[in-house]
Amino acid sequence: MSVQTHPQSVQLPVARAATMPAGDVRAALGSASDGLDEEEAARRLALGANVLEARRVSWPHVLVRQFASPLQGLLVAAAGLSFATGDQLNATVIVTILLGSALLGFVNEYRAERTAADLHGRISHTIVVVRAGAERPLPVRELVPGDVIRIGLGNIVPADARLLEADHLEADEGVLTGESAAVEKSVHPVSAGSSLADLSSCLLMGTVVHAGTARAVVTATGHQTEFGHIAAGLAQGLPETAFQRGLKEFSLMLLWVGLALTGGILAINLLLQRPLLDSVLFSLAIAVGITPQLLPAVVSTSLAAGSRLLAKDGVLVKRLLAIEDLGNLDVLLTDKTGTLTEGRIGFEEALPVTPGLDAAGQLVELALLCCESDPAEPGASGAGQNPVDAALWAAFPDRRPPLAGQHRLGLRPFDHETRTMQTTVARAGGPVRILKGAPEAVLDRCAGVSPDARTLLDGLFRRGARVVAVASGPAAGPGAEDKDDGGTRLTLAGFLSFIDQPKADARASIQRLAGLGVEVKVATGDNALVAQHVISVLGMPDGAVLTGAQVSDMDDDELAAAAAGARVFARVSPEQKARIVIVLRRAHAVGFLGDGVNDALALNRADVGISVDSATDIAKDAADVVLLEKDLGVLADGVVGGRRIFANTIKYLLMGTSSNFGNMFSAAAASAFLAFLPMLPGQILLNNLLYDTSQLAIPTDRVDADQLRRPAHWDIGAIRHFMLIFGPISSLFDFATFGLMLWVFQAAPEEFRAGWFVESLATQTLIVFVIRTRRIPFFRSRASATLTAGVLAVAAAGAVIPYTPFGSLVGFRPLPGPFFLALVGMVVLYLVLVETAKHFYYRGADARASRERAVSERAVPAAVPSAAVHASHGRVHRRAVPFLVHTGKTRVRRARGAGVAGGRR
């Protein structure tokens, strides 16, 4: 019977609980061996969920970020000085346009922040809890103090808890203590005053079960846990990624170019004895014009819009910037179960090999006695067990009750090193040891295995069955389960056959990935014959098969050479999976798809770790991308989406280099020979604001199929090269406009500025139709309707402004009608010239890429570092993912002397 108590009395510090006997802890928490009842649990949950309040970036923070550029700050200061000296109109125009630009960036960046937070909330984590004597899975956020939980290999500990039972339990507590070695746990109390690292009788929130199983009672949840105290800085984010560094390098490149032009322009204007304040304002406006003011907003908008589309396809991106990595993939290493197969393991048949053993009797009973859950334990269920044990329990519900009288003396849970699990059971003739696991591992412990048994096993493998072997023998007594063989050889009882059919749509998904340039390789713990059967059924290309034993015998260079041509890696350990990922990364962008605890290491080592919503907690924690369905077709959608998002982001960067640089270069040159400023500071900023507004529709643009067929990569050198080629082309037509206005129309300064404003805005916005594709624009590749409408609307607005009162306000004068005839001709000629230059640019780029590929094929690149070492803050942030929630708060709240920030990242 569950004990009820007032919910305000249930929190118990783990340091105190660790010193108390387990029974006293349960009593203090108002719990019992069969857990809480649902009514009491609901009362406690009302007091507070098991969550950490991580402060998401608030709207004031995003707004302030729009003014983070020191150049903008200087421009505002100069405008203030201009206002103080009597030029209120120009100062007001400058400040208004800057505010409009900041508001545009704020709206788009804040929407992106909200999208990331909403997607985060869709990733679920569960734990097996005992409520009113019955086990059932429960979302970790609904856990309350006093709950009794069952936890095992690979689980992230969901709360601070006092151990009630522990079987060979070890926990990785490095996220809290910094120690890399797993810590042994036991139910025995520790002495008072023990340090956090010495609380061996407790499990701590955020740590990972490295081995064994346990039952424990929750002592504290949420921000009351030790992990909650340490995780107070969760709002600060993760370490900078390669994509972020690339964006920063691009921004700095344009910033330095802008500063150089600004210095030159300022010096020229001062030498020409123009007013100091006007010269400073003009120079700063040039600098602001060339820097990508809305780059964060465009990138965030593109990533957020893409992530929403991916989410509709069942792909949740935990880090928005991982989208680039997803698009870069050219090798996918995946497990077999649930990805290439249905993932629903069903019991097929029991095949005894010992004479006189009943296939539907003793063999199955031995197997049921050697499961993670004890059939003799009241309320035990298949929930939370590994797929094989869960399938066995589901197949024989009537076999479990008669086993309730069988007393289990000990358990060694399944581990990936021995690939077996073992129990010792008390029987009339003495204790019996039962071993269950991978057939090769079990047969190595058995005596007298007949050739017929091995022939039977080989036949099961060849038809694609998943096989578990069961053996038994006398045990020395309690504790014998700690030894590999208990001092005696075992007798093979037989095999259990399970079936997991290949997916009907897997063949088409693999072919689709191949069409995207992604090679699929299989890494599995299953037998090589089983894996070969599956890939044969799915029509995958032939390739070598490497076993775990072969992998262990190779050095890294040998493995790199062998892995390149391998299709299947069979009977590989977690460490071997990670090593395979590392050597493949020497020449490829590698994705790893896995859902088990044995996949976590490889998920961390891959360029992009991919897991599924039904995966173990540690696998989802280690992954960058979570699939709502374990389907290669969904993953192919994700790869295409990643490439589309990255391609659209690069379009904006190329636009920024080709147009901004050209226009600012033209302004610098014009200021050297004109008797007046070619454009006023406010007019430059207005031009930049309208241009950036038109580019915010780029995330909606279509992407050509040939851009999606190969991985996309960040290349600062290529962008710089693009700037130096296409920027001067833009300047040629600016100079033509200057000549037209001065020598044909004899334009006054106000009319000259209006003419250049209209021409520069038209050319730098309309060029997107050429730059957005490698094909012939309009005929072989058309932009999205949204982008087309946005660009044409901005170009039209620029042409109309000189005729409006606002145009007069900012210093424009209406233009003569013949100017627009000349403008149409210049725009058409400009687009044709850019299209021609684009053809030669990409032909040269393709030739360089071919030479680089040839060089890379002749030499094996140096090994990629095994894994980036994250700062401790980054590890805490990733581990906190299952427990983070958005509260909408922006202040830091304090609890028990430790801060926990409000909101969700």
Non-local (6+) Cβ contacts of 275 within 8 A are: none
- The answer to whether the beta carbons of residues 237 and 883 sit under 8 Å apart is no
Tell me how far apart the alpha carbons of residues 290 and 264 are, in angstroms, rounded to a whole number.
14
Q: How many CA atoms lie within 13 A of 398 on its CB side?
A: 2
Question: Which amino acid makes up residue 287?
Answer: A
CA dihedral 321, 868, 576, 855 (to 10 degrees): 80
- The answer to whether the beta carbons of residues 65 and 109 sit under 8 Å apart is yes
Q: What tokens were used for 402?
A: 């008669």
- The answer to whether the beta carbons of residues 342 and 503 sit under 8 Å apart is yes
**Alpha-carbon distance values, 860 to 261, 557, 584, 592, 846 (Å):** 43, 9, 11, 21, 22
Is 715 noted as a catalytic residue in this protein? Answer: no
Tell me how far apart the alpha carbons of residues 268 and 245 are, in angstroms, rounded to a whole number.
34
Strands 566-570 and 519-524, bridge-based pairing: parallel
Non-local (6+) Cβ contacts of 72 within 8 A are: 98, 288, 293
**What is the CB neighbour count within 10 angstroms for residue 192?**
10
Q: Where are the beta strands (DSSP E) in 392-490?
A: 407-415, 420-426, 432-437, 466-474
Tell me how far apart the alpha carbons of residues 780 and 232 are, in angstroms, rounded to a whole number.
54
Non-local (6+) Cβ contacts of 85 within 8 A are: 277
Q: What does DSSP assign to residue 591?
A: E
- The answer to whether the beta carbons of residues 569 and 524 sit under 8 Å apart is yes
Q: What tokens were used for 6?
A: 């007032």
With CA atoms as reference, report the closest residue to 422 among 212, 279, 258.
212
Strands 519-524 and 331-334, bridge-based pairing: parallel
With CA atoms as reference, report the closest residue to 109 among 394, 302, 372.
302
Q: What tokens were used for 601?
A: 């290491």
Non-local (6+) Cβ contacts of 859 within 8 A are: none
CA dihedral 225, 226, 227, 228 (to 10 degrees): 50
For the chain, how big is the Rg over CA atoms in Å? 33
- The answer to whether the beta carbons of residues 475 and 337 sit under 8 Å apart is no
- The answer to whether the beta carbons of residues 503 and 344 sit under 8 Å apart is no
Non-local (6+) Cβ contacts of 760 within 8 A are: 663, 666, 687, 734, 737
* DSSP reduced 3-state for 393: helix
Of these residues, 335, 374, 389, 607, which one is catalytic?
A: 335
Q: What tokens were used for 840?
A: 């030669």
How far from the centroid of its chain's Cα atoms is residue 204's Cα? 25
Tell me how far apart the alpha carbons of residues 872 and 62 are, in angstroms, rounded to a whole number.
26
What own/partner pairs with CB < 8 Å and gap ≥ 24 does 815-824 have? Answer: 815/751, 815/754, 815/755, 815/758, 816/745, 818/745, 819/740, 819/745, 819/755, 819/758, 822/740, 822/744, 823/758, 823/759, 823/762
Q: Distance between the two ends of the chain, CA-based, in angstroms?
A: 41
Residues with active-site annotation? 335
